[in-house]
Amino acid sequence: MLSVRGASKRYKTTVALQPVTFDLAPGEVLAVVGSNGAGKTTLIKSVVGLIRCEGNIEVGGIDVGRNGKAARRLLGYLPQDPAFHPDLTVQETAVFYAQLRRLDAATAREAVETVGLIEHAEKPVGALSGGMRQRLGLAVARLGDPTLLVLDEPTSGLDPAARRDFRALVRKESANGRAVLLSTHWLEDIPLMADRVLSLKDGYTQYLGSAAGYSAVSSSRLLLRLNGRSHEAHPVIRAALGADGVVQEGEWLAVDCAPEERGKVVAALSAAGIQILDLRLEQAALALQTDAGEVA
């Protein structure tokens, strides 16, 4: 369904993506993982045809670079932050995008129903939760019955229940024969959602193989959502760890630390009176091995 051969991208002196090669079969889910700047977004946008890259990318045998319009008819795309008009209802939004594809209102309603939003069809988009917005994004992406879904960080910012529901929707799509290419920074989602993994670092392919064979060791990433006090938390965390490993990622504060240091971070924030609204754990891939046990 998707064939990527030697896809690479350079911005002047910066190499965003080294040559990447892989295939994606119908009904298969491939998760693209890596830290910020690893090349995930560059790869995703190259597949969709939003940016041009070196190499060859084909969707259903159609070259994205040479015939992007025809290739995009075969795929559905869900960006990380779908730009829906907040005053339109769920149904109106689905109908608007259906009309762009020359589809009728009945098809739009069916898409809304498929993702479990039919009870919220008359609700304004601006009143939806993050999980519901992503469901609506998936409904729009699957209009026209695409054979390939491309999802950019679809569970980013979602609460645990919404992430669980979205994982189930992805598996349902793959069970219906759709190929799914998705990027994610939630490594814990991988065994629950993906069949294979493509891990990128600084544009290079670290690992390409089965989700079951994908292993991460040694370090971890602590993701914290604080009550608007991230700027105060930075020096507190640095003091607790004795090092600088704190990065702001949207509404999340990411802390790279050894597993035994997680408790220090939480204790230090608590002592400083900084409330933790949400906490996630992510394994950081320091050494990635193929199924055969060889470093990629």
pLDDT digit of tens for each residue in the chain (296 aa)? 999 999 999 988 888 999 999 999 999 999 998 877 889 999 999 999 999 999 999 999 999 999 999 999 999 999 988 889 999 999 999 999 999 999 999 999 999 999 999 999 999 999 999 889 999 999 999 999 999 999 999 887 777 788 888 899 999 999 999 999 999 877 777 888 899 999 888 899 988 998 887 754 335 678 888 878 888 898 999 888 876 678 887 788 888 876 667 788 889 999 999 989 888 776 554 444 444 333 34
Quote the pLDDT of residue 220. Answer: 65
* Predicted TM-score of the model (pTM): 0.75
E strand or H helix that includes residue 232: helix 230-241
Quote the pLDDT of residue 6. Answer: 95
Quote the pLDDT of residue 217. Answer: 35
Distances from the Cα of 246 to the Cα of 159, 162, 230, angstroms: 22, 26, 10
Quick one: tokens of 3? 């064939």
Residues 6+ apart with CB under 8 A from 211: 31, 190, 191, 194, 195, 196, 197
What residue ranges in 123-170 does DSSP mark as E strands?
148-152
Structural domains in the chain, sorted by start? 2-210 (3.40.50.300), 218-285 (3.30.70.980)
Quick one: tokens of 142? 């699957």
- Listed residue (139, 146, 187) closest to 166, CA to CA: 139
Quote the pLDDT of residue 109. Answer: 95
Quote the pLDDT of residue 57. Answer: 97
Cα 203 vs. chain centroid, distance in angstroms? 17
Quote the pLDDT of residue 283. Answer: 56
